Amino acid sequence: MRPITVTPRKFYQNRILRLLDNDNVLLVLGMRRTGKTCIAVQLEELLKRRSGGSGAVYRCNFETPRSVHMSIEYMINRFDELYDPDIRNIFLLDEITHVSSWEKAANYAFSKPNVKLVFFASTRRMLSSEFDAYRDNRCDIVEMLPLSMDEYAAFRGIRELTPPGAPAARRSFVSASGEKLGMDDVYRRYLYGRALPGIEEDHRDEYGTDPVSDALSSSIILHDLLEVGSFEGLSAITDPALLRGVISVMASSMGRNISATWVGKQIPEYLSRISSTRTVESYMRALLNAHLFYMVPRYDIKADRELKTLAKYYMADMRLLDYFMLSYPEPESLLLENRVCFELLRRGYKVYNGKLTQDEIKFMAENSEERAYIQIAGKFDEQERRGLLTPLRRIKDDNPKAIICSESETRSTADGVMIINAAEFLMGASWKRK
């Protein structure tokens, strides 16, 4: 078995550093093994060097068996021992939601001057109405998402040999073992590979098991799903068979607009019994809280409003399906759709699934500055070309429109729709016309 190496994710480390100067609480959220603790360790070292005695930096990891039994009185007393009101105090707090009634201790610390609280959490339980900073909109939130394609290449030791700006067909790479790779090779490794840093593609032992993947999946299930309890009024996750069924239905339905009611109707295919919509909805919400799935709501483009029904769900790391002995969704274009969704989120967009009368726009991406309409394609034959271009051309506004395609060179149509090579887009290319 090859050794596992852990490297901080510079993109997120730099985003966090830029948010340390204000008085807001900083929440760093993301699925397990996305690199949060690694960044916390690096930040502790970096901030201590920078402070030069003018501030204090403390890092606390609450993901230990004894943390569950910590009293609020102990946490507040410990804070008072460390806190110095005359200098800036930065607290890096990892997985504090393991402590019962953690909000009381967080509220106490938040009320003090010269305190910067940075929380690292694997569940959305940090977004609690009992947490004063969140309730009062005094939080900055950084979502640590799965690896981008260029991060994936860097973490896997893949180096590019060609100069910047080379066309996709001519770009060449070399793997850590010295194997020569083309752009398409890297793209397909990324499409089917692990989306998490610090985990090699395959750590299978002599018996064919993958202890790294199994340990990751077990930690998500034990800590982030089973502990969800009554968070946001949800019932506890107590039925592993139902959990597996819900995950299977959601993964196999990727790319479709679904609801808890619809998922519940499919469950008898996996279990010989029926589950209530309320229970299925609770399990789906737990999967969202653990960052295993991300929801993309529908948006009526003509009416210009978000719809509350039939969302789409995308999985943070498809390789976790191996743990549940589930197959990947087909066709390959769905894996591309999944990757593009996370790439858009990584670039800071709110992502919707667009509805235009009877037509679908795969993604509508929006931020404070712009909106873009995006279709996804595998093979780009004439029939699929017409089916994807026609809805885009029915949108009469001047916002960017693009088709991200795995089998096409990047170019523009006569009326300004960008056809973008999928590998180039996942490596950072824009959908804007050059």
Q: Provide the pLDDT for residue 5.
A: 45
Rounded CA-CA distance 410/431 in Å is 10
**Among residues 282, 261, 264, which one has the least CA distance to residue 273?**
264
- Largest pairwise CA distance in the chain: 70
In order along its 434 residues, the chain shows pLDDT tens digits of: 444 445 668 899 999 999 999 999 999 999 888 889 999 999 999 999 887 767 899 999 988 777 777 889 999 999 999 999 999 999 999 999 888 889 999 999 999 999 999 999 988 888 989 999 999 999 999 999 999 999 999 988 999 999 877 877 789 999 989 999 999 999 999 998 888 886 555 544 443 445 555 555 556 665 667 654 444 455 567 788 888 889 889 988 988 999 999 999 999 988 888 889 999 998 999 899 889 899 999 999 999 999 999 999 999 988 777 766 666 666 788 899 999 999 999 999 999 999 998 899 999 999 999 999 999 988 777 777 788 999 999 998 999 999 999 887 888 888 889 999 999 999 988 877 55
Cis check for the bond before 400: say yes or no (omega within 30 of 0).
Answer: no
**Among residues 84, 64, 75, which one has the least CA distance to residue 106?**
75
Q: Provide the pLDDT for residue 180.
A: 95
Q: What is the DSSP string of 37-96?
A: HHHHHHHHHHHHHHHTTSEEEEEEE--SGGGGG--HHHHHHHHHHH--TTSEEEEEEESG
Q: Provide the pLDDT for residue 236.
A: 66
Q: CB–CB of 131/103 below 8 Å?
A: yes
Rounded CA-CA distance 104/36 in Å is 23
- What pTM did the predictor assign? 0.89
DSSP for residue 148: P
Beta bridge partners of 55: 88
Q: CB–CB of 174/159 below 8 Å?
A: yes
Q: Provide the pLDDT for residue 418.
A: 92
| Chain centroid to CA 338 | 11
Q: Provide the pLDDT for residue 433.
A: 57
Q: Provide the pLDDT for residue 198.
A: 62
